[in-house]
Structure 1
Amino acid sequence: MNVRSFQLSDYRPVTTLLEEVLSEECYEQTMEAFARQLSWDSELVLVAVEESEIVGMIIGTIDNNKGYYYRIAVHTEYRRQGIGKALIQALRQRFEQRNVSKILITADEHNEPVLPLYEAMGYASNDFFRSFQKLSIVAG
């Protein structure tokens, strides 16, 4: 498995992945944030590739020198294989390279199921950014 920056050719497989694994409401919010993040800084959108298939992705953003994990999605057939952890670690490296002062996890109702994954990786509940604002407002 390889984690790399999003490329334009990934757009269709990534949107298909998101459509398959996210609820309709979450998908719409995520696509809005995804488009905005690509226009701001595509280096903070990462994909996990297994045998030339995109099996996971993560969207991050930086606002006021803070890094935010916004949304992570892993194909259902590839879950519990370390892909989510690899995506989180790769994005953390990007944040660290940019010397962010703090890394936070956006904790909206759609991210609740993955918060234990972040906790297992050493993040504490005070690292969870609970807000009803969308990424487009937070980072805009």
Structure 2
Amino acid sequence: GALFSLVAQLIWSFVGSAAVKGLGGSSARRDMRFVWGAALAPQVVALLVLLPFDLLIVGPELFTNVKLEDTVASAWAALSVALGVSLAVWSLVILFRGVEVVSGLDIRRAAAAFAICLASTVLVIAVFRLGGTALAGGS
């Protein structure tokens, strides 16, 4: 996970900077890496707050696909998923607004640069996924 994040952030900074410049804005790779890091702040909240409560309330069943029998655990799991999705959306909003701010582009061009950056990140995920599958001997 950490290696993936570092590689994705590095590619994000190169692709993002080039995309912004191609769309008429200006942004240093350093600024794009900063935006990536700032956008991950809500994910830190999820890791430091939600995960301990998940483990405390749900327990080891958190990591299985066993149906939760306890209604409190089920309710917490549903709330935790909803909060996790909300934090992920918040991260995306911070990421988009960050690209818009550091690039100096209008909202449409910033959206185009953001889409290009996200596509590069999806490509990194695909490469890591395919590489992991190939190393594991699967298809």
Q: TM-score range, shorter-chain basis?
A: 0.3 to 0.5
TM-score, L = length of structure 1: 0.33
The structure in which a higher percent of residues are helix is 2
Higher Cα Rg, which structure: 2
The structure in which a higher percent of residues are strand is 1
User: Which structure is richer in relative contact order (CA contacts within 8 A, separation 6 or more)?
Assistant: 2
TM-score, L = length of structure 2: 0.33
